[in-house]
Amino acid sequence: MQKINEISILSGKGGTGKTSLAAALATLQKNTVVADCDVDAANLYLILEPEDYRTEKYISGHKAVINYDICIQCGLCKEYCRFNAIERMTEPDYPKGKITIVETSCDGCWLCSRICSVNAIDMAPCDKSYWSTGNYQYGKMIHARLAPGEENSGKLVNVVREQARITAKESGAQNIIIDGPPGTGCAAIASITGADKVVVVTEPTGTGLHDMKRILELAGRFQVKKYVVINKSDLNPDMTDCIRSWCEKEDIPVIGNLPFDPRMVHAMVACKSITEWAPGSEISTVIKEIHRFLSRVQKT
Amino acid sequence: MRIAIASGKGGTGKTFVSTNLFAVAEKEFHNVTLVDCDAEEPNVSEFINGKTISTEIIKQHLPVIDKEACVYCGKCRHWCNYNAIICLPDNKQIYLIEDLCHDCGACLAACQYNAITEIEKRLGTVSVKQCSNHSRTIEARLDIGVYSPISVIKAALNKAQDTEIMLIDSPPGISCSFIATIVPADFIVLVTEPTPFGLNDLKLSVETLEQLKKTFGVVVNRTGLGDDRVYDWLEEKQIPLLMKIPFDKNIARIYSQSRLLVREDPSYAIHFLNLLKAIEGLCKK
């Protein structure tokens, strides 16, 4: 059986054009599977407009809840909590202050609920997050939404990627396009793990270069092929040269220079990928070359 | 006054706004601190120079299991809600998966045989830089490969106490790391761009801030490049539009060279000062 080719699009810095590139790659070939792993701020569905046929809840964790009918205000939970999520709040009838959970600090570790001598602490599931699978014009898409403030975005990324693999096997798709999150933390790590290729989209700015180096250093810890795409490359040609020479020194191929083109934004406003909106543009030509390059089946 | 600069979508101009605000604030106030809380990709130091006066290494605890004392009862594994402990009693094997450990202390509390002690593991750094005699930056920087930036962010914010104006450059998104930076803030500036992606992510941020009952306003960056839906939405929701920054290749060039707009173009020094005044006004309401 042919191995599925998982291509993860990342950037370190936000707003460099990950989703615009992913949307274009997702609309160049039929029978593609797309995984939107920016579960914090998912946008790809706005372009691909999938018709979801399956949606599942995702339990991202739990939060402690005190049952005040039982609580004896001993404060043992406060002593044990390492997240400073339990405080004594000033309140009438509570001379020492009322033991209260600070929900935004609670990590959901369950320790308070386990050590409470009167079993006054319950753990309530955080079930406002979900993931969905749907059909879009060129294939199938898995996307998710992490509810505000919730943890474990890395785990939700794992769920989305696992579903993408199952879907790709079922539909016989060769490529999975992963639209990754910004940053280098758990969600980015989960977007790299097990991928075949990582494409880092950067821009010719001081911050673009700084952030690209960090995400490539992270990717370097995995068995994954690394590539760079420079977006808006003509906005600062000196910095573009600087990025190219750094990549050359590190032996990382730069597989495309995308010029600045306001049509990228126009396409987004029209909910189209750039290759659908302006197929004859220079930018679309370069993206088609990138697509051909990345789709080549790796003989191992 | 503590002002967080945030956005759901990445790359809308959080650091651009926070560094330029810092440059005008340090002229107006006696004690100004900019805390770079985008610990996964900290960028403030690309724009603002200063003399490093301290760098603290931020650590977490990691349990160490003494295999002589361990009876392989599995209670620590059961109490660990992060699946960081693997215990195979039949083979007398017990392991820790370091990256999954959240430093909650549950395994330590669970063990009745005194088989667990703790060591420290490095997560990142918090660096303080003096910029002028009354202004400084504090940078939270996560080590590459570390999963969660929360501890490093909280350590940076703790260092910033006792400051007249505290500016916080938040991480993108709406997850736990974003929440850690806005909880201590009196006011949040949400930076967006007039595109469908910008608006979609702005709505997520607003929903989060409304749940937390926070005061906030919006800066629209790169106006003229997308569409007008964001303005209609802000009006409908009666959310204050604090500032509009046009898309301008000259601004993009200044940013790309890691320079500050307010130092290159005096008219923007006035615009950013007005932004600061507007925030001050809204905070007092």
Separation of first and last alpha carbons in chain A? 13
Q: Report the predicted TM-score, pTM, of the whole model to 2 decimal places.
A: 0.94
Q: A3 in contact with B at a CB cutoff of 8 Å?
A: no
Mean pLDDT for the stretch of residues A36-61: 96
Whether B226 sits inside 8 A of A268 (CB atoms) is yes
CATH code given to domain A61-126: 3.30.70.20
Whether A182 sits inside 8 A of B106 (CB atoms) is no
Nearest CA in chain B to A208: B256
Label the pairing between strands A197-202 and A5-10: parallel
With b for 16 or more beta-carbon neighbours within 10 A and e for fewer, the B106-140 pattern comes to bbbbbbeeebbeeeeeebbbbbbbebeeebbbbbb
Question: Where in the sequence of chain A do the CATH 3.40.50.300 domains occur?
Answer: 5-59+129-295
For an interface test with A, give the residue of B44, B169, B176 to mutate (most A CBs within 10 A).
Answer: B176
B32 and B217 Cβ atoms separated by less than 8 Å: no
- For residue B263, the model assigns a pLDDT of 96
CATH topology assigned to domain A5-59+129-295? Rossmann fold (3.40.50)
Residues of A in contact with B109 (CB under 8 A): 80, 111, 114-115
Question: Where in the sequence of chain A do the CATH 3.30.70.20 domains occur?
Answer: 61-126
Mean pLDDT for the stretch of residues A181-187: 95
Whether A149 sits inside 8 A of B110 (CB atoms) is no
- For residue A1, the model assigns a pLDDT of 56
Model confidence band, residue A300 (pLDDT cutoffs 50, 70, 90): very low
For an interface test with B, give the residue of A113, A145, A211 to mutate (most B CBs within 10 A).
Answer: A211
B75-93 confidence digits (pLDDT tens): 999 999 999 999 999 999 9
Whether B257 sits inside 8 A of A206 (CB atoms) is yes
d(CA A274, CA A24): 6
Mean pLDDT for the stretch of residues A85-109: 94
How many angstroms away from the CA of A40 is the closest CA of chain B? 5
| Domains observed in chain B | 2-58+122-284 (3.40.50.300), 67-114 (3.30.70.20)
B156-197 confidence digits (pLDDT tens): 999 998 899 999 999 999 999 999 999 999 999 999 999 999
Q: Nearest-5° angle of CA A236, CA A242, CA A247?
A: 125
